[in-house]
Amino acid sequence: MIAIVDYGMGNLRSVEKGFLKVGVDARIVTDAESIDNAKGVVLPGVGAFMDCIKNLTDMKLTEAIIKSIQKGKPYLGICLGLQVLFTESEEFGVCRGLNVFEGKVVRFPKSDLKVPHMGWNTLNIKKKPPIFNGIGGSSYFYFVHSFYVVPEDEGIIAATTDYGINFTSMVWKDNVFAMQFHPEKSQELGLKILKGFGDFVKKA
């Protein structure tokens, strides 16, 4: 079973339905024990970084998530589920993240482009993760965000996207896959990613 972590922020039903559509057993959970018992962990989320960290802390879920990653359990982070992996965010003042990866979460610089970055955009794949079966370069995915991650270790960057600047849109290291875009809103290609993660969990 894959645990979809419910901490009060996120497009949980769409993520759950996406997994079910591709035949993957994924269930919404709210407690640390369920995360410990799951074979894989999914952390979705939309909204503010600080609220996300507060909710995870208040629900005593941060330690369970970090331990699951350290044990090598497959992890899929979506939007905020990517951002909270990093050291800190500058959103509404500096806020500490889970520090799984060193780096910052920063706001898009001022430009003629609208912020939030919302809608369909392409990926420039730097290294193809094993959950990307049947997905090639320049594939379109759905984004909604005002902030993006800046990893200190560029070796974890799996894909970038152009929106005024070339920003990191996906990271991958070992058992951790995390993306700024929303696979659950990205139609057929998004479902392929969810299926790919499910297949990865089965083999783990």
Q: What is the mean pLDDT of residues 189-204?
A: 97
Average pLDDT value for the chain: 95
Please say if 182 is a catalytic residue. yes
Write the pLDDT tens digit of every residue in 44-75: 988 889 999 999 999 999 999 999 999 999 99
What phi and psi, each to the nearest 5 degrees, are found at residue 6? -100, 110
The fold of the 2-203 domain, in CATH, is Rossmann fold (3.40.50)
Rounded CA separation 68/39 (Å) = 9
pLDDT of res. 17? 96
Active-site hit among 16, 79, 91, 95: 79
Please say if 79 is a catalytic residue. yes
Write the pLDDT tens digit of every residue in 137-181: 789 999 999 999 999 999 999 999 999 999 999 999 999 999 999
Write the pLDDT tens digit of every residue in 17-45: 999 999 999 999 999 999 999 999 999 98
11 has pLDDT over 90: no
pTM check: above 0.75:
yes
Q: Are 164 and 109 in contact, with CB atoms under 8 Å apart? A: yes
Active-site hit among 52, 91, 95, 184: 184
Rounded CA separation 58/56 (Å) = 6
Write the pLDDT tens digit of every residue in 61-118: 999 999 999 999 999 999 999 999 999 999 888 999 999 999 999 999 999 999 999 9
The residue type of 49 is F
DSSP for 59-128?
Answer: TT-HHHHHHHHHTT--EEEETHHHHTTEEEE-TTS-EE---SEEEEEEEPPSSSS-SSEEEEEE-EESS-
Please say if 52 is a catalytic residue. no
